[in-house]
Structures are given as structure tokens and as C-alpha cells.
Amino acid sequence: MQNNDNKNIILTGFMGTGKTTVGKLLAKKLGRQFIDTDHLIEERQGMTIPEIFAELGEAAFRQMEADIARELGEREGLIISTGGRLMLDPANVAALSDKGRVFCLVATPQEILSRLKNDPDNRRPLLDVPNPSEQIVELLQARKRGYQRFLKLATDDRQPSDVTDSLLEFIQRNPKHFAIDNPAQPYEFIVGNGILPFTRQLAGADGMLVVITDSVVGKLYAQSCGSVDHVITIPTGGQQKTLATVQSIYDQLLEIGFDRFGTIIALGGSVVGDVSGFVAATFMRGVNLVQCPTSLLAMADTSIGGKNSLDLPQGKNLIGNFKQPTVVLADVATLSTLPPEEMLSGMAEVIKHGLLADTDLLEKIEGSTWSLQAGSFYSSPVEIQTLVAQAIQVKISFVQKDPFDLGIRSNLNLGHTFAHAIEKVSENSVRHGEAVAMGLVAAADLSMRLGHCSGQLKDRIDQVVMKVGLPNRIPAEFSPEAILEAMSLDKKRAAKSLRLVLPVQVGQVFIADDVLGSEILDTLYAMSGN
Ligand SMILES: NC(=O)c1ccc[n+]([C@@H]2O[C@H](COP(=O)([O-])OP(=O)(O)OC[C@H]3O[C@@H](n4cnc5c(N)ncnc54)[C@H](O)[C@@H]3O)[C@@H](O)[C@H]2O)c1
Ligand SMILES: [Zn+2]
């Protein structure tokens, strides 16, 4: 993985959040050059910003900002503090974030006001209005959407030196940042080792902060998120994805006075992620959501894309909605306690992502020495971080192309029509990832039978699944006929025919629209075994 060390660090945010002071301190600690874009423009023009505005006009100033963004974006190793509006222009964001990490410093309007009042250097007319506090609230609201996409760093009532220290500590963990451009809510996916303790500071919250977790993960990690207002714990296990669980969470939120300005932190695997996503989407018509996935499946797959679902007595995943998080913080250190069989279950989705788009990822898994049989699945945090980063990039590319799951995102269902049927027939005694592994092999077998892929690809998929210790055969106790029947009830079934995603080669799938039951049965019989 590329080390962050020499990447530019860009600090943005509203005036009075301390980006220049923190930037200077950070530059000193890291022995790097500091650049304040406003000062650089003033220096080059030999004029102050008010003079530039008065004599050359705002458009000229914005053009100067754009030129500087492009210029600095080409360089490395800088600490850059930007003018308050520079990062509201997507072209500037693209120029600077390509080789840099962006942090948006945030503070409450009261803190901003008191800092600006105490700043002898403050040359802005902002305070020369009858009600400066109201003016700040209004401006912050107007900027909110523009700053939405960036990783927030709360400055609270801390001294700039404290803010600098925590930023430095965070950067030194070398997390990887990925931007997700969603029309409803652009956000970042951060994967790192030991980043959970930064959750509170990175949540971007200005209201109450509530963690929703399960009984296993809560005991291990709820305390690590930093001080929060409340922790809601649901029992562990897939049976929790119900309206009854959601109702009990609503009750607790109301009891503590949680309102629409609050933020929910989903700390746990995909079950916690689904339940929390549903709650965050619906409570008071929607509150902020931060995803802190702690299982490999959640990190490499379900914490991205915003889909959540709940079960009804009539079937699994029958209701749900889209709720994008404001940020996803995936701390791979938490995987050290994930049971090996859960780790393995997540590997099935990682293999799927490798097959869908990333030859290198697939080869890495094929060449790795990790397997459940070897005792533990936990490799070094760096290796796992790379694996999660590569897998999530595949998911990101699909959800960005198809945010509402109307087209190409369905490629991510590779192996899943088989998997859901196997889970159903097994009455969920087969884990999701195990079922996906069987489903991937089944999809390859069917694809080969229908002439869409080579026997070589089918063998390759079979081998990689087996190599990591996932099942490549369907237990004989689940009859092919029962699985076929469960498949045709799959909710993703098109009106008249069974729609299946079939592999063609690594990076390419074929959507088969009318696969015959008899063809599927041939595959299911061939796969029925140990
Ligand atoms: N990929 C999909 O298609 C998809 C999408 C949404 C939901 N799901 C559902 O997600 C579930 C499986 O996902 P999951 O594995 O994330 O489920 P999960 O949330 O149930 O987590 C699995 C188990 O691991 C424990 N756990 C999680 N993180 C831990 C950690 N760091 N240390 C110790 N224990 C930890 C949990 O308490 C739980 O017992 C299935 O029910 C599946 O149906 C799947
Ligand atoms: Zn899945």
C-alpha cells in the first residue's frame, strides 16, 4: 500500500475553525512546508484580498484560487490551508484531493464567533453586522452541503495544539481514504489500523451522539469510540433485523431526547449496519449516520452503498431503504477479535469483488497463505487493510455508477441468487459468506454449461474458494430441487424468467435472463456433495 507520508494534507473549513493555526503547527511537527492559499494569492498579487475583490472583482479571485489549486495539486509533501470557499468548487477539490488528504475542521457557531472576536488578525467584515452570531449560523448552513463530502475533524473547545496532535496521530496510522460520490450524500470511506478511537472527533456531529451496537461488539469496542451520549445494545445475531428491534431502538432514542440533529454510530457487523441504517433513515425522517463496520463482510461490502434491509415474518430482507452514511470508518484492528469463521464468511465477498473487477486482488488471495485450516485467518493488519481497500474499491465503482441499484450494480449479485436459496433451505444454518462461496462456484458451473465461460475459469473459482477454506460444494442434505424452488422465489427474480449473473472472465459477467430450471438443476446436482 502506498504510504501517506508524502501526500499533501489539505485543511479546509469555515473561517475561525483554526485551519491556518493547526496547519502551521502540523507543518512544523512534520517538517513540511505550509501554504495558506489566501496568503499565497496576496503575496503574488501584492494586494490584500479585499483589494483584489475591490479592484479586480470576485471572479478574478476565484480564478486565482483555481490556478493555485491546480498548481499545488501537482506537488507533494505540503500542508495546505485553503480559503473558506476554495473547496466548494468541485474542480478545485478534484485537483487537490487527487494527491492529498482533505480534512474539514469544524466548530460550533459560538466557538467560531469567539475565535474571530479574539483574532487580532481578523480582517473580515463578517463581524461588522448587527447580529454576527446569526450571520455565522446562516453561512455555516449554506456551506454545509459543500463541506459534506470531506472528513470532518471536530475542534470542540480544544486548543489548536491538541487538535494538531490528534490529527497527527490519526495521519500516522496511515489510513486510506476513498471518496464516494453519491448524489444524496457524498462521503468518504476510511480504512485504517487503530482509527476507532477517532470516531467521536471524525463523526462531524453537532448534536447528540449515540452508538448502536450488538452485545458482542459493544463489550469489546463501544468504549473505544470516544465519549458518546448513549450506547444502545441489541442482541447479537441475524434474527435481530426486525421491526421489533427497530421499535425498541426508537423507544430508547426518544427516552434520551435524541432529535433530528443527532448522529447514530453503527458499530458492528452487517446486522448492526442494516438495523442502524434503517433507524437513521426513518427516525424523525432521517438523522446522520456514521458506519463503523467491525466484520470483514461489513467492511468489504455492506457498509458502502447505503442499502439497508429488515426481515418480515414472510421473508428476509423484504423492507428497507437507502441511507447514505456521512462517513465510514473501518478499523481493521477490530478484526483481530472476529471469529475465524466470520472472517472466512467475509472472504467470500472479497473473492466476489476480485472476480468482478480486480485481477490483482484475486491473484493476491490465490497466492496468500491464509486459510482457516492454518489456524487463524488474521493476517497482518497491513495486509488486511490492503485487502479491504482493494475489495471496497470494486464496490465503490459499482455503487457510484448505479447509486439507486437500477442497473450495473446488480453485477454485485454474482453468486447471490444461489446463496440466498441455500441460506433459506438451510434455515440459515449456512452462513451468508459460505452460501456466497457455494453460489460463486455454482454460477461458474452454470456459466460453463451454458457456454459463457471456460472450464478453466470455473476451476479457478472452485480452487480459490476451496483454498481459503470456504465450501465449494453444497451439502447433500439440501436437495437440489428444494434449492431450485427457493431460487424461483428469490425477490430479485424478474417477472417471468430467472435472472442470473454469470461470470464470463475476471472483470466480466453475463446477465442471463431466461435460464431453464433443468439447466440449474444440472449444476445443483453436480455441486451436491460433501
Ligand atoms: N452481503 C450481503 O448480501 C448482505 C447485505 C446485508 C446484510 N447481510 C447479512 O449480514 C449478515 C452477515 O454479516 P456479518 O457477518 O457482518 O454479520 P453480523 O453483524 O451478525 O456479525 C457476525 C458476528 O460477528 C460478531 N462480530 C462482528 N464484529 C466483530 C468483531 N470485530 N469482533 C468480534 N465479534 C464480532 C457479531 O457480534 C456477530 O455475532 C447476514 O445475516 C447477512 O444476511 C448480507
Ligand atoms: Zn453478500
For residue 389, the number of C-alpha atoms closer than 13 Å in the C-beta half-sphere is: 19
Beta-carbon count within 10 A of 346 CB: 30
Cα 405 to averaged position of ligand 1 atoms, centre (Å): 22
Contact between residue 246 and residue 312 where contact means Cβ atoms under 8 Å apart: no
In ligand 1, which atom is closest to the CA atom of 345?
15
Provide the strand spans (E) within 350-441.
none
CB 303 within 8 A of CB 328: yes
Reported as half-sphere exposure (CB side, CA atoms, 13 A), residue 165 has a value of 5
| CA–CA dist 107, 375 (Å, integer) | 47
Ligand 1 atom nearest 298 alpha carbon? 16
Pairwise CA distance, residues 25 & 41, whole Å? 21
How is residue 449 written as a grid cell? 454449461
Q: How far is the CA of 136 from the centre of ligand 1 (A)?
A: 43
Cα(237)–Cα(255) distance, integer angstroms: 25
**pLDDT for res 374:** 56
Q: Can you tell me the distance from the alpha carbon of 128 to that of 104, in angstroms, rounded to the nearest whole number? A: 26
Query: Residue 414 CA: which ligand is closest?
Result: 2
Q: Which atom of ligand 1 is nearest to the CA of 296?
A: 16
pLDDT at 394: 96
CA-nearest of 343, 1, 8 to 176 is 1
Task: Name 529's Cβ contacts closer than 8 Å, sequence gap at least 6.
Answer: 473, 474, 475, 476
Is residue 234 within 8 A of residue 249, CB to CB? The reply is yes
Query: And the C-alpha cell for 467?
Result: 483454498
pLDDT at residue 494, as a whole number: 38
Residues 240/274, Cβ–Cβ less than 8 Å: no
* Residue 357 alpha carbon to ligand 1 centre in Å: 24
Ligand 1 atom at shortest distance from the alpha carbon of 270: 16
Gap from CA of 499 to ligand 1 centroid (Å): 27
Residues sharing a CB contact under 8 Å with residue 411, sequence separation 6 or more, in sequence order: 356, 398, 501, 509, 511
Please count the helices (runs of H) and the strands (runs of E) in the chain: 21, 18
Q: What is the Å distance from ligand 2's center to 349 Cα? A: 6
Q: Ligand 1: list residues with CB < 6 Å.
A: 214, 216-217, 220, 236, 238, 268-272, 274, 294-295, 297-298, 301-302, 334-335, 337-338, 342, 345, 349, 432
Q: How far apart are CA 337 and CA 217, in angstroms?
A: 9
Fill in the DSSP letter of residue 269. Answer: S
Cell of 339: 471469529
According to DSSP, residue 513 is labeled: S
pTM beyond cutoff 0.85: yes
Q: What is the residue with the minimal CA distance to atom 18 of ligand 1?
A: 269
Query: Pick from 435, 328, 336: which is nearest to 379 by CA?
Result: 336
Cα(492) to ligand 1 centroid in Å equals: 22
Question: What is the pLDDT at residue 139?
Answer: 85
Dist. CA 469 → ligand 1 center (Å): 18
- Cell triple for 308: 439497508
Number of CB atoms found within 10 A of residue 217's CB: 23
Ligand 1 centre from 425 Cα, in Å? Answer: 20
**Grid-cell match 434455515, residue found:** 427
- Residue 238: per-residue pLDDT: 82
Nearest CA to ligand 1 atom 43: 432
List strands edge to edge, sheet with 288-293: 176-180, 187-192, 327-331, 288-293, 263-268, 209-214, 230-234
Query: From atom 42 of ligand 1, which residue's Cα is the shortest distance away?
Result: 432
Q: How far is CA 419 from CA 149, 270, 354, 423, in A?
A: 35, 16, 18, 6
Say which ligand is closest to the CA of 346: 1
Q: Can you say whether the dihedral through the CA atoms of 297, 298, 299, 302 is positive or negative?
A: positive
Cβ-contact 406, 493 below 8 angstroms: no
Residue by residue, pLDDT tens for the chain (530 residues) are 344 578 999 999 988 899 999 999 999 999 999 999 999 999 999 999 999 999 999 999 999 999 999 999 999 999 999 998 899 999 999 999 988 999 999 998 888 888 887 776 655 556 677 888 888 888 888 888 889 899 999 997 789 999 999 999 999 999 999 999 988 889 999 999 999 999 999 998 789 999 999 999 999 999 999 899 999 999 998 889 999 999 999 999 999 999 999 999 999 999 999 999 999 999 999 999 999 999 999 999 999 999 999 999 988 899 999 999 999 999 999 999 999 999 999 999 999 999 999 889 999 999 887 766 655 666 778 888 999 999 999 999 999 999 888 889 999 999 999 999 999 999 999 999 999 999 999 999 999 999 999 999 999 999 999 999 999 999 999 999 999 999 985 545 433 468 899 999 999 999 998 888 889 999 999 999 75
Hey, whose CA ends up nearest to atom 41 of ligand 1?
238
Contacts of 181 (CB under 8 A, 6+ apart): 149, 400
> Distance from the CA of 233 to the center of ligand 1, in angstroms?
15
Pocket test for ligand 1, best of 295, 296, 307 (most atoms within 8 A of CB): 295
Count Cβ atoms within 10 A of the Cβ of residue 331 and give its class: 0-12 exposed, 13-18 middle, 19 or more buried: buried
Ligand 1 atom with the smallest distance to the CA of 214 is 37
Q: If DSSP codes are grouped into helix, strand and coil, which group holds residue 80?
A: strand
For residue 419, which atom of ligand 1 is closest to its CA?
Answer: 3
Task: Report how far residue 329's alpha carbon sits from residue 388's, in angstroms, rounded to the nearest whole number.
Answer: 12
* SS3 assignment, position 71: helix
Choose the residue to mutate in 270, 318, 409 for probing ligand 1, maximizing ligand atoms within 8 Å of C-beta. Answer: 270
Q: What are the cell numbers at 84?
A: 473558506
Kind and range of the H or E element at 250?
A: helix 243-255
